[in-house]
Structure 1
Amino acid sequence: MTIAGAFKSSSLISWKSTGKLQQTLANCIERTGKALHSGKTSTVKISPESAGKGRYFVCRSQLIPASIDFAKESPLCTTLHKDGHSVRTVEHVLSALEATGVDNCRIEVTCSGSEDQSVEVPILDGSAREWVEAIELVGLIVATDQGGNSCEKMAPFLNKSLHVRKNDSFVAAIPSPEVHITCGIDFPQVPAIGCQWFSSSVSSTFYAKQIAPSRTFCIYEEVERMRDAGLIKGGSEENAIVCSTSGGWLNPPLRFQDEPCRHKVLDLIGDLSLFARCGSQGLPAAHVVAYKSGHALHADFLRCLLRID
């Protein structure tokens, strides 16, 4: 697909210039850690890439664009799949890249001692903070194409309201001149979490300080069931905050009073980043409101945005 062909407006969205140029990393980033679900040790190397190339993963020489076109439903994470290869738990690193403005990059994921065609991004401390710190350490530069030319950064602007829902969970969006996210969660069976809401516009500075540090969380009474299902083999109190229905938080302190809700915002940004293509912005210029949503519903929302009608 050519860059021009990637930005076709519809009744739902119009692609417009952000007034900025596409960016990439000034140098490579590499981090190694344990994968949350497989429990294996994996390494991620993120390298600069040319303008117009966008963000993409490399798994055993297979290129998998960070696009909703390759999103595959999987429990408790977002997985990208292409031609028999897959990369799992991509939401945290993509959230950091989208929010900090890394529009083009190559993300190579390798798993030590494994010949699998499926790899998983390491969970690190359960947040996106380490990814943001690594990006800030190397810095960003204007990306150029093979001819040395820069490219303007486009963004999808919502033209009319849209919503998707499943039971009492929903994702809705209202046209707005800027990106604004409101997120709500409700865990009535876990009083220490309960009902929480978080709402803010999204800027790189705000994200780095107020969203990126929020860690993934789980309910203690559900841990055994998830492990029996082959999930969270690499989960621990070092990479998640754990809450009991009766005993409250088992590994305090929290980084924010509403850390679980902020982490849902982090996940949502990572999933919405999959709308990006050819170095564009993935986050729609809209007020996005999500309540009790998860990765599958986020993907359904993006697929609705793809409709041409």
Structure 2
Amino acid sequence: MQSQLKLLRQMTVSGTFNTLKSSNLISWKSTGRLQQTIAGCIEKSGKTLHSGEVSKVKIFPGFAGEGRYFKFQSKSVPASIDFAKVSPLCTTLCKDGVRVRTVEHLLSALEAKGVDNCKIEIENQDCDSQEVEVPILDGSACAWLEAIEKVGVKEALDQHGNNGEKVAPYLNEPVHVWRNDSFIAAFPSPKVRITCGVHFPKVESMRNAGLIKGGSLENALVCSISDGWLNPSLRFPDEPCRHKVLDLIGDLSLFAQNGTQGLPVAHIVAFKGGHALHIDFARHLLGTI
């Protein structure tokens, strides 16, 4: 009964009752922690991966229960699975005509560092465009992680000065989703575990489709069949696999609702995963596909 009362308090924020979406596959349980936000403001600018243009991101502290959301001009786009769309080689959020592309690395860093609530303002060079893209930076989440660590995190309060308990989705039974020869399977576990296998296709088709215009040796891992890795030495022997785990965490962070944890507490096994498969998996957990 006590845990149910705690969950009820978590779902009541700023006088509004927010019901956590659920299904028989997951149970929302207390993490024993309070919701967090960043303790200062973060600003990063850089070239975007697909359009090749420069964009600027500013991240501000958020209220408890607000969750993570993007702000472009006067429109808000929640970092929620409800607004995720299938997009070539990235995750895109769409709402009210606005499209925010390549959100996965930034969201992965925020999820990993426990930044449950924040406002993410994004600006593009093209002021008339309704499509914006998060800068790719060095191609990893390292710069985002360092920026979060520099400003720190703090307890998030709602507009009335109240904190909010942080809950997480726990998997109740084994599940799996498939796309051709790719799959994600997950099994109940007392803590988050991720096992990943990768296989990367050639990139010529990506360039022919007008994508990765901003890709370079400074922000991507490039491998030649004849010459091997064209980049400087990899930071880790399994760096390509780690990158896919980074994408997976960022995409599954969209499972978060009202400042909850997004990443399901489970042992997740992914092979040849991609953004579309990750989104399918999250929606399967909610019973929406």
TM exceeding 0.5: yes
Q: Partners in 2 of 1:77 and 1:308 — Cα distance?
A: 21
1:222 is aligned to 203
1:57-103 Cα offsets, whole Å, 9 max, x none, are 11222100000100011100000001110100000000000000000
Please give the root-mean-square deviation of Cα atoms over the aligned residues, in Å.
1.6
Pick aligned residue for 2:260 from 280, 289, 300 = 280
AA aligned to 1:185 is V
1:176-205 Cα offsets, whole Å, 9 max, x none, are 111111111135xxxxxxxxxxxxxxxxxx
1:248 is aligned to 228
1:266 is aligned to 246
SS of structure 1 residue aligned to 2:65: coil
SS of structure 1 residue aligned to 2:195: strand
Q: Partners in 1 of 2:19 and 2:272 — Cα distance?
A: 31
Structure 2 residues not aligned, in runs of 5+: 1-10
Output aligned runs, 1:125-144, within 5 Å.
125-144=138-157
- The answer to whether 1:231 aligns with 2:215 is no
- Percent identity among equivalent residues? 67
1:224-282 Cα offsets, whole Å, 9 max, x none, are x3222110011111111100122211112111111000000000000000000100000
Give 1:9 deviation, angstroms. Answer: 4.2
Q: Partners in 2 of 1:236 and 1:244 — Cα distance?
A: 14
SS of structure 2 residue aligned to 1:116: coil
Q: Partners in 2 of 1:118 and 1:160 — Cα distance?
A: 38
Pick aligned residue for 2:72 from 59, 69, 83 = 59
AA aligned to 2:122 is V
Q: Partners in 1 of 2:92 and 2:115 — Cα distance?
A: 20
Change over 3 Å in CA distance of 1:114–1:69 after alignment to 2: same
1:141-160 Cα offsets, whole Å, 9 max, x none, are 10000110100001001111
Q: Partners in 1 of 2:288 and 2:190 — Cα distance?
A: 22
Q: Size of the alignment, in residue pairs?
A: 276
Structure 1 residues not aligned, in runs of 5+: 188-218
Pick aligned residue for 2:124 from 111, 120, 125 = 111
**8 A Cα contact 2:136 2:219, kept in partner:** yes
**8 A Cα contact 1:23 1:103, kept in partner:** yes
**8 A Cα contact 1:8 1:14, kept in partner:** no
1:306 is aligned to 286
Output aligned runs, 1:73-222, within 5 Å.
73-187=86-200, 222=203
Give 1:168 deviation, angstroms. Answer: 1.3
Q: Partners in 1 of 2:191 and 2:263 — Cα distance?
A: 10
Q: Partners in 1 of 2:133 and 2:104 — Cα distance?
A: 11
1:200 is aligned to none
Q: Partners in 1 of 2:207 and 2:21 — Cα distance?
A: 43
AA aligned to 2:54 is T
**8 A Cα contact 1:56 1:64, kept in partner:** yes
**8 A Cα contact 2:50 2:211, kept in partner:** yes
2:3 is aligned to none
- The answer to whether 1:31 aligns with 2:12 is no
**8 A Cα contact 2:22 2:286, kept in partner:** no
Give 1:7 deviation, angstroms. Answer: 2.2
**8 A Cα contact 2:21 2:286, kept in partner:** no
Q: Partners in 1 of 2:203 and 2:288 — Cα distance?
A: 41
- The answer to whether 1:18 aligns with 2:58 is no
AA aligned to 1:33 is G
TM-score by length of 2: 0.92
TM-score by length of 1: 0.86
AA aligned to 2:224 is S
Give 1:284 deviation, angstroms. Answer: 0.5
**8 A Cα contact 2:109 2:250, kept in partner:** yes
